[in-house]
Structure formats: structure tokens, C-alpha cells
A and B are shown apart, each in its own frame.
Chain A
């Protein structure tokens, strides 16, 4: 079983839509969950991280963790064409991060 599994996409939405990106993880001991954004041929850029369960909001982005179901989500409100990128979920485990496969999002004007 993979440590982190991510809904593969790709996802295409109109501008202004609410986007939901999702991952599941296998090890209930994980405590830190991150979302990165990656543009083509660039390095991952940390968007936000959450600790344990609950929600964290940053502008149009909300990260949500449900530890009971081992489910992590990123919601993007009022999506913009500039949000078009690949979104990576990741979990922090000791001295490393383990990434999902990524979901490519296209926001059409």
C-alpha cells in the first residue's frame, strides 16, 4: 500500500469555481500534512501545512485533515487561471517528506 495516494486528475474547471483536491495516507502516526504547488519544470512551492486534524485557511486556500479517515484535502475558492499548476500533497515523516503523485489543475478563463 502506498504511503500517500492522491486523486490523479487531471482537473479542468472554469474560473471562479471551487476546487477540491484530495489525498489519502496509510500511516495513522503521521502528524504533519503539506500541500505544494508545482509549475511545469519548477521546484515544488510550499502552499501550507497542517498539524494533526482540522482546518487551516490562507486566503483562498483551505487545507483540511481528517485523521479518522486518513484523508487530506485542499480547497481553492474563486479559482484563477494563475492557479493552474500541479498540486502535490505530502506527509512529513522524521527526516523526509513523502509526496503523492500530484493532480494537475487547469483553470480556464
Chain B
């Protein structure tokens, strides 16, 4: 069964450093998403991406964040200068166009900022 994959599974970084989280969405999906979940809190939407541009973003997704689809398979989330409060699980998801109710999530990347 096709699935969303994410790398790395755990990333430790120092405050102020840049990190790039990587995702490989399901191959015939065209909508891509990033969510985050701070430990013990709810899953929060960050950004959705379609046709090489951002469709929607939340207030969390400020200038420190960017997304990119550098090739036909990968989808990345970059955090330019990490803060302690960026420590969270980051989930990538994908869906067919027009079916954003049927999103498939990856296993997540646990980001720890020290």
C-alpha cells in the first residue's frame, strides 16, 4: 500500500540553525501539507501546497518557514532559524486534488531544538 515517508525520523538542532525536513508524498497525489504537533497538544495546520505554490497557510507559518517541491517526488519544509518553541513533531500529508478530506499522513519527524 502506498504511503507517505518522512526523513529524518528525529532531528536535533541548535537554536538559530536551519533545518530541512523531507517528505515523499504518495506518488499520484498532488496536494501536499505540513502539520505540526507540539508534545501533548493538538495537530496544527501549517501550510498546503499545490501546483508549485502555497494554497493556504496558517499564522504559524511565518517568514521563518518555507516549502519547496525540488523535484518530482520530494516535498520539503525549511525552518530558517530555529527557536526552542519549534520543537515538535512535524507531519507531512498528501491528498488528491479536491479530496483534502482524505489526507494521508507520514510517520513524522521529531524536531528537537536545544
Q: What is the interface of chain A, defined by CB distance below 8 A to chain B?
A: 32-34, 36, 41-46, 49, 51, 88, 90, 92, 94-102
Contact = CB atoms under 8 A, between A and B. Distances in A.
Contacts of B43: 44, 88, 90, 99
B102 interface: yes
Given A88-B43, A95-B100, A96-B100, A44 B58 contact: no
B42 A100 contact: yes
- For chain B, the bracket of interface size reads 20 to 34
A42 B100 contact: no
* Contact residues of A: prevailing secondary structure: strand
Interface of B: 4, 31, 33, 35, 41-45, 48, 50, 55-56, 58, 89, 91, 100-108, 110
Contact of A43 (B31, B44, B48, B106): B106
A92 B42 contact: no
Nearest to A6: B42
A43 B56 CA distance: 21
A45 B48 CA distance: 18
When A and B form their complex, which 6 residue pairs have the shortest distance between CB atoms, in order from nearest?
Answer: A32-B101, A43-B105, A95-B56, A95-B48, A92-B101, A95-B55
Contact of B42 (A34, A41, A99): A99
B56 A96 contact: yes
A101 B105 CA distance: 17
B100 A43 contact: no
A43 B107 contact: yes
Contact of A92 (B55, B100, B107): B100
A51 B22 CA distance: 32
Max count, chain A CB within 10 A of own CB: residue among B43, B103, B105: B43
Given A41-B89, A95-B31, 12 more contacts: A32-B100, A43-B91, A88-B43, A90-B43, A95-B48, A95-B50, A95-B56, A96-B45, A96-B58, A99-B44, A101-B41, A102-B42
B48 A41 contact: no
